[in-house]
Amino acid sequence: MQNAAVPELAHTHARPVHWLATATAMAAVVALAGFLTPDPAKASPTPGRQDTPLTTAAAPDAGTVTFPLDCGNLGTVVEKKATGDLDGDGVPETVAVVHCNAGGGTPPSGVYVLTRPAVPGAPPRVVATLVDPKDKQTVTDFAVRDHAVAATLLGYSSDDVPRYEPDVRQEVKWRWRGGKFVRSTGTAAMGI
């Protein structure tokens, strides 16, 4: 039995047109919020809060560096590069995978960390060698994420293994700790 004191009102029953109007209004609010969000490069930190300083410094250009590789007159090739703030100072570093321009085969890789020049106008500086080409390894997968460098290294168990068929594979990661890059391997390296 229906209560006669409370009449049935038309606006108490949701109809498709009501849902459409609500969805349209919500979409407009979300779009407007996107336009009103401050630009992160111009946002100022909250007073009294200690945040990492914002920087507009460009990452070092690997194309302007003379790498410590002995390639004779062949020259070097920057095969891969990635940037990120590895030491937490708010300024990006560049990590470059470099090898001699052998023209064929699989020359060993070197992995180098570059930072800004000591003198304005000078080329970036090589501040660390993560993989030395003398170790005769090739870098395949490579990334800079979460203040760390991760790579897959292919190498050889002995000099008898053909150079075109590496038989050793390592997942490695380097993280800046205590003023130097610390390397981890295996499952510890997979956690990046």
Does the structure show a pLDDT above 80 at 136?
yes
The mean per-residue pLDDT over the stretch 108-131 comes to: 93
User: 160-185 pLDDT, tens per residue?
Assistant: 998 888 999 999 999 999 999 999 98
Q: What percent of the chain has pLDDT over 90?
A: 52
HEC-encoded secondary structure of the chain: CCCCCCCCCHHHCCCHHHHHHHHHHHHHHHHHHHHHCCCCCCCCCCCCCCCCCCCCCCCCCHHHCCCCCCCCCCCEEEEEEEEECCCCCCCCEEEEEEEECCCCCCCCCEEEEEECCCCCCCCCEEEEEEECHHHCCEEEEEEEECCEEEEEEEECCCCCCCCCCCCEEEEEEEEEECCEEEEEECHHHHCC
23 or 147, greater pLDDT: 147
Q: What is the pLDDT of residue 42?
A: 40
Side-chain-side CA neighbours of residue 178 (13 Å): 2
* Poorest-pLDDT segment among 61-70, 77-86, 107-116, 182-191: 182-191
Find all residues with CB under 8 Å of 140, minimum gap 6, and list them.
151, 152, 153, 154
pTM: 0.68
Q: What is the pLDDT of residue 125?
A: 94
pLDDT, the chain, mean: 79
Does the structure show a pLDDT above 50 at 98?
yes
Encode burial over 114-129: b for 16+ CB neighbours within 10 A, e otherwise: bbbeeeeeeebebebe
